[in-house]
Chains A and B, each alone.
Chain A
Amino acid sequence: NAGVTQTPKFQVLKTGQSMTLQCAQDMNHEYMSWYRQDPGMGLRLIHYSVGAGITDQGEVPNGYNVSRSTTEDFPLRLLSAAPSQTSVYFCASSRTRQETQYFGPGTRLLVL
């Protein structure tokens, strides 16, 4: 198993550009989520999904879209990048609601 994979590892964007951060897991996990990590802020939940076709907002959803068309993939879309979205983004998954989360290696995003 590859576990949770994220691409790209690092990305530089200009303000106003759009992009998609990819996340995939090969463990047949039902729960997937996106977090951003900022200094002194811990991890803040952006969006999450409890299964294919079901998504919901977390603490900081503005400026981000998600979809879950398959169990394996949970892409995060930045619609119009802003400097405030400079952060490290982590994707995570868990098999069921009682299981622990497995984290991807992260995507470091810089918005100029």
Chain B
Amino acid sequence: AQSVAQPEDQVNVAEGNPLTVKCTYSVSGNPYLFWYVQYPNRGLQFLLKYITGDNLVKGSYGFEAEFNKSQTSFHLKKPSALVSDSALYFCAVRDIGLDSGTYKYIFGTGTRLKVLA
């Protein structure tokens, strides 16, 4: 079955330090992978995506993610964390059905990032 796993419920990092939020996936075929961020009482906002091409994807607000096919991972990274990065982060994969006319998105359970001043 298709799935997305975010193994950490919460990640704490000091401001200015690099951060990593982990995501692994299990889908059939080539995955389309996404990261979204959710601030309190708001909807989800798109950060970045991997469709094909370069395994290192750069996105909004200085975030980047690395696609690793052999490890089926798509970890989110940022070289220097800011307090304002504190939020809930979701990894998602778009699963293409056997009939390419159907597709749906599967989300992980989310990781709460706390950046400490």
Do A and B interact with each other, yes or no? yes
Q: What residues of chain A have their CB less than 8 Å away from a CB belonging to chain B? A: 4, 31, 33, 35, 40-45, 48, 50, 56, 58, 90, 92, 97-98, 100-106
Asked if A101 and B107 sit within 8 Å, CB to CB, the answer is no
Chain A residue contacts of B32, Cβ below 8 A? 98
- Scoring A35, A50, A100, A102 by chain B CB atoms within 10 A of each residue's CB, the highest score goes to A100
Of the candidates A44, A97, A106, the one whose C-beta lies within 8 Å of that of B43 is: A106
Asked if A100 and B90 sit within 8 Å, CB to CB, the answer is no
Asked if A100 and B104 sit within 8 Å, CB to CB, the answer is no
Closest to A91 in B: B43
How far is A52 from B17 in the complex, measured between Cα atoms in Å? 47
Chain B residue contacts of A50, Cβ below 8 A? 101-103
Asked if B104 and A58 sit within 8 Å, CB to CB, the answer is yes
Asked if B46 and A100 sit within 8 Å, CB to CB, the answer is yes
